[in-house]
Chain A
Amino acid sequence: MPINYYIFLSLALFAIGIVGVLIRRNAIIVFMCIEIMLNAANLLLVAFSKMHHLQQAATQASAGTDGQIFVFFIMVVAAAEVSVGLAIIVMMFRNVHSIDINFLNRLKH
C-alpha cells in the first residue's frame, strides 16, 4: 500500500483527537481524545519505519528500526501520563463530584 494512505489515516485520527479535545466537556473523553492523538503518531511512526526499511534495507539491514523503538517509548510515557491523569481526575471528582471541564473556568476571575 502506498504510504499516503497511512499518512491520511493517521492525520484523520489526529484531527479527530484535536476536535475531541476542543469540543468535548467530559474530562475522561478529552483524555481519550488525547490518547487517539498519541496513537495516530504511533501509527504514522510504524508506517514510516516500514517505508524506510523497504527503501534502505539493501544498504543498511537495521534501517527503520528506530521508528518502531520510538513507539514503545511513546506507549510507556502514555501509560505513565494516563495513570497520573486518572489520579488527578479522581482527586477532582472527590472534591466537586463532577468531571466536567467547564468547572475549569472558575480560576479566571
Chain B
Amino acid sequence: MNALIISAVWGVIMMFSGIVLKQKHAIRNLAVAGLILLLLANGLEMSGTMFFKVDTKGMIEFDRFALLFDSIIFASAILYLLLSARDMEKVGSNYAEYLALIFFILCGVVLVASFKSLLILFLGIEIISIPLYILTGSDKRNLKSNEASLKYLLLGAFSTGLMLMGIALIYGATGSFMNANIDVFKEPPSALLITGMTLLMFSMAFKTSVAPFHFWAPDVYDGAPVVFSSFMMTIVKGAAFIAFIRLFDEAFGSLAPKWQLWMAILTAATLFIGNITAVFQQSVKRMMAYSSIAHAGFMMLAVYAMNTDAKEGILLYIAAYCLATIGIFAVLGKMSDYTFDGFNGFAKSQPLLAATITIFLLSLAGIPLTAGFLSKFYMLKAVIDTHHNLWLVIFAVLMAAVSIYYYFRLIQAMYFKEGTVKEIHITPVFKWTMMILAAFIIILGIYPNLLLYWLYF
C-alpha cells in the first residue's frame, strides 16, 4: 500500500514540478528521489511497516511475491532513470510530464502485481496502458511515432474490450469478481466460465505480446522513442506477466487441465516467431523488439508450468531481462545509427561500454555465470517438474540456441569489424550505472538466492 499511494502522489508532484522548477536536472533529481523513496517505502512494507492502513475489502493484497516484484521494478526504474532520463529531453519539451506519466504507470504496475479482484486487474492494466499510449506518441513530429501510438491505442483498446467481455462472462458464471470466488471447482465448468477465461487469456496474451497476438509489438517498440520503448519492453512487460501468472494461478488454478495445452502452444509459437524473425533484422532496435517477444515466450513457460519454481523463476527472469535490456537501450538511445553496421568498431571508441553491452547480451542469450542463464534454467526446471509436454523444454533450448546468433552478431560488430562510431557524450554517472548494472547481472548469475531469499524470510 505504501508504494501504491506514494507513486500516485509523486506523479502529481512531478506534474507540478514542471511549473515550479525551471532546470531540467532539478526535475530529474526529484524523480530519482521519488523512486528511491518508493523503493525504501516498499522495503519497509516488506519488513512490516505500513504507513497507510486502507481497507480494500480484500480486493488488493500485498503479499511477498507482489512486494518483491515491486522492489525489482523500482530498482530497475531507478537505474533506468539514471541512464536514460537525459535522453527524454530530446523527445520533446514536456519533460516533467513524461516523468509524471512514468510514475502513474508505476502506480498501475503496483496494482497489477497485487490484485485479488478482476476489477483491480482491469484498472491496473488501463492505468498502465493509457499513459503508455501518450508516451509512445510523444515524439509528435515524427510520423513513425504517430503510427506506433495510434496502432498501440487501437489494438490496446481492442484487447481491453476482449478483457471486459471475458470479465463480464465470468461474472455471469460465478457472480463475483474476486479471484478466490471464481476458482471454485465445479464439474463440468460452465460454458460461460470457459469462454470468459479464453477471452481473458487472449487479452493478456495481447498485453504481453505473446504470439499470435504479438503483431503490434515490433512496430510499436520500433516506432516509439528509444527511451520509452525501453520502458515498455522491460517494466511494463514484466508487470503484464505478473498479472498473467496471478490471474491464471489464483482465478483459474483449478481449471489448469483446460488451459495448459493452449498455453504450451502459445509458448511454442512465441518462441519460434520471436527468435526466427529476430535473426533477419538489420536494425538493432527492431532486433531487440523481436528478442523481447522471444523472451516473452520464455516467461510464458512460467505461466504454463505454474509451480513454485515458476514463480521464483519469473521474478529472477524479469530482473535479469529488465537489467540487460535497460542497459542496451540506454546505449542505443545515444547512438545515431540503429543498424548493426552502426556498431562497427564500437569497442575501439568506447571499450567500457562495449564490455558492459557484451555482458548484457551474454545474459540475454543465457550464457552461464550471468543472471540470464539461471533464469532460463529456472523456467526449464519448472516445466520439467510438471512432467507433461517435455517437448516444450527441448524446443525452448533449441530456440535459445538460435537466439545466440543474433546477440553475438552485435558483439561481432562491436569487436571484430572495422568502422568509426560517431563520438557519443557519456557522463560519469552513466558510466558508473552501466557498471553497476553489469555487476548486478553477474552477481545474480552466481547467487540468485540474494534475490529469491526475500520471498521467504
Q: Which residues of A contact B (CB under 8 A)?
A: 3, 7, 10, 14, 17-18, 21, 27, 30-31, 34, 37-38, 40-42, 44-45, 48-49, 51-52, 55-56, 63-64, 66-67, 69-70, 73-74, 77, 80-81, 84-85, 87-89, 91-92, 95-96, 101, 103-104, 106-108
A98 to chain B, nearest CB (A): 11
Question: Quick check: A106 and B147 within 8 Å, CB to CB?
Answer: yes
Given contacts A84-B153, A92-B150, A103-B147, contact A74 B133 (CB under 8 A): no
Question: Quick check: B169 and A44 within 8 Å, CB to CB?
Answer: yes
- CB proximity to A under 8 Å, residues B358-400: none
Question: Quick check: B169 and A77 within 8 Å, CB to CB?
Answer: no
Q: Which 4 A-B pairs have the closest CB atoms?
A: A37-B161, A41-B164, A44-B168, A48-B172
Q: Which residue of B lies closest to A77 (CB)?
A: B126
Question: Quick check: A31 and B171 within 8 Å, CB to CB?
Answer: no
A85 to B156, CA, bound (A): 11
Question: Quick check: B146 and A88 within 8 Å, CB to CB?
Answer: yes
A88 to B126, CA, bound (A): 17
A102 to chain B, nearest CB (A): 11
Given contacts A37-B165, A95-B146, contact A45 B175 (CB under 8 A): no
Q: Which residue of B lies closest to A96 (CB)?
A: B143
Question: Quick check: B119 and A70 within 8 Å, CB to CB?
Answer: yes
Instruction: Give chain B's interface secondary structure class.
Output: helix
Question: Quick check: A104 and B151 within 8 Å, CB to CB?
Answer: yes
Residues of the A chain whose Cβ atoms lie less than 8 Å from the Cβ of B172? 3, 7, 44, 48, 51
Q: Counting CB contacts under 8 A, is B149 at the interface? A: yes
B27 to chain A, nearest CB (A): 23
Q: Mark B154-170, 1 if CB is under 8 A from A, else 0.
A: 10011011101101110
Instruction: Give chain A's interface secondary structure class.
Output: helix
Question: Quick check: B176 and A48 within 8 Å, CB to CB?
Answer: no
A101 to B150, CA, bound (A): 9
> Quick check: which of B31-39, B40-48, B134-142 contacts chain A, the rest being far away?
B134-142
Question: Quick check: A70 and B150 within 8 Å, CB to CB?
Answer: no
A40 to B160, CA, bound (A): 12
Q: Counting CB contacts under 8 A, is B130 at the interface? A: yes
Q: Counting CB contacts under 8 A, is B272 at the interface? A: no
Most buried by B among A3, A37, A55, A70: A70
A58 to chain B, nearest CB (A): 14
A43 to B375, CA, bound (A): 44
Q: Counting CB contacts under 8 A, is B426 at the interface? A: no
Not counting A38-B161, A77-B123, a sample of 11 additional A-B residue pairs whose C-beta atoms are within 8 angstroms of each other reads: A3-B172, A17-B161, A21-B154, A37-B158, A42-B164, A70-B171, A74-B164, A81-B153, A84-B134, A95-B143, A101-B154
Residues of the A chain whose Cβ atoms lie less than 8 Å from the Cβ of B312? none
Question: Quick check: A44 and B165 within 8 Å, CB to CB?
Answer: yes
B209 to chain A, nearest CB (A): 16
